[in-house]
Amino acid sequence: MSRATPEDLPALLQLLTGSGLPVDDLDDPQANVQLFVARDTQGLAGVVGLQLAGDRGLLRSLVVAPERRGQGWGRALVTEAERAALREKLHELVLLTETAAPFFEHLGYRAADRGGMPAAVQATRSFASLCPATARCLSKPLELAIYHNGNCGTSRNVLQILRQASLEPRIIEYLRTPPDRQTLLHLLQRMEMRPRELLREKGTPYAELGLDDPALSDDTLIDHMLAQPILINRPIVVAPWGVKLCRPSETAREFLGLA
């Protein structure tokens, strides 16, 4: 993924117009649209746009080349736009769509009131005139959080990586305010991890509790993690596009698109 260059413009405009997406304001500097492109060995695979509108962003101009659809490019392009939105310190992403609502809903976007959007969003040409009144409005809050233990070197390193990138996450001191069962299960689901994979052995009562017993159920392991949060490995970074246990700390750069 990369920012679009002037050389990319003819191909991406052709891709957008071929999919019936508006392009009239893309060359207007006042529109404040950032375009990102995905490429593979065959050339341009897709494009997505992020339009700044106050403390919100308008996610727009998402299209994948027809011959590359079904390969994950659409999701990857949305992730790139969400990463850019975090770097811009935006609070929410908003979009209008006539045909792709199920795709965006799968990525966490929810129905929103088009008429209730802030004035800066309403003033964009996409909202005011380019997108028809029949287009559905969806939005997604942009949260960045870290389940953090200040005594852990890896956790401190990841927090430093975020701050060096001008990203200020919500810090969850999980030893003081541990997650409840539903939250922990949700984190595991988003990380596609089993409870045993999230268990921490070093510096914990793992051995004395006999947690190495393979017969222990997932529910039992979760019970132990809730009772003694030190057993939850860290740091866990929560971003709009996913959740990741960032060990070693350098994995945070790739996860956040900083590599």
Cβ-count burial of 126 within 10 angstroms (0-12 exposed, 13-18 middle, 19+ buried)? buried
Q: Among residues 131, 137, 152, 246, which one is catalytic?
A: 152
61 Cβ contact partners less than 8 Å away, ≥ 6 residues apart: 16, 21, 23, 26, 33, 35, 47, 48, 49
From CA 23, how far away is CA 46, in angstroms rounded? 15
Greatest C-alpha distance within the chain = 66
Q: E strands along the chain, which residues? A: 2-3, 33-40, 43-53, 56-64, 92-97, 110-111, 136-141, 145-148, 170-173, 236-239, 242-245
Report phi then psi at 39, rounded to 5.
-130, 155
Give the 3-state secondary structure percentages of the chain, helix then strand then coil, rounded to 5: 40, 25, 40
Element (DSSP H or E) covering residue 255: helix 251-255
Q: Annotated catalytic, 246?
A: no
The HSE-up count of residue 33 (CA atoms within 13 Å, CB side) is 23
Report phi then psi at 18, rounded to 5.
-65, -20
From CA 62, how far away is CA 100, in angstroms rounded? 10
Catalytic residue IDs: 152
